[in-house]
Amino acid sequence: MSTAAIIMMVITMSTITAITLYLFIKVLRTPPKSEPDSYTKNDDVQR
C-alpha cells in the first residue's frame, strides 16, 4: 500500500470516528422530552 493510500485511509477513518463520537455525545447530552402522563390526561374520562 502506498503512502498516499495510508494517509487517505487514516484521514477518512479519523473523520468518520470524529463525526460518530460527536453525534453520540450529542444524543447522550440531549435532555429527554417531557411526555405527558396518559393517565392524568384521561382522569375526566368515564370508562
pLDDT for residue 20: 98
pLDDT for residue 39: 64
Cell of 13: 477513518
**pLDDT higher for 1 or 23?**
23
Q: What is the pTM of this model?
A: 0.63
pLDDT for residue 32: 79
pLDDT for residue 34: 73
Integer-rounded Cα radius of gyration of the chain:
24
CA 45 – CA 47 distance, rounded (Å): 6
Give pLDDT tens digits for 19-45. 999 999 999 998 877 766 666 666 665
SS3 42: coil
pLDDT of 5 strictly over 70:
yes
The full set of domain ranges for the chain reads 1-29
Please state the three-class secondary structure of 9-31 as a single string: HHHHHHHHHHHHHHHHHHHHHCC
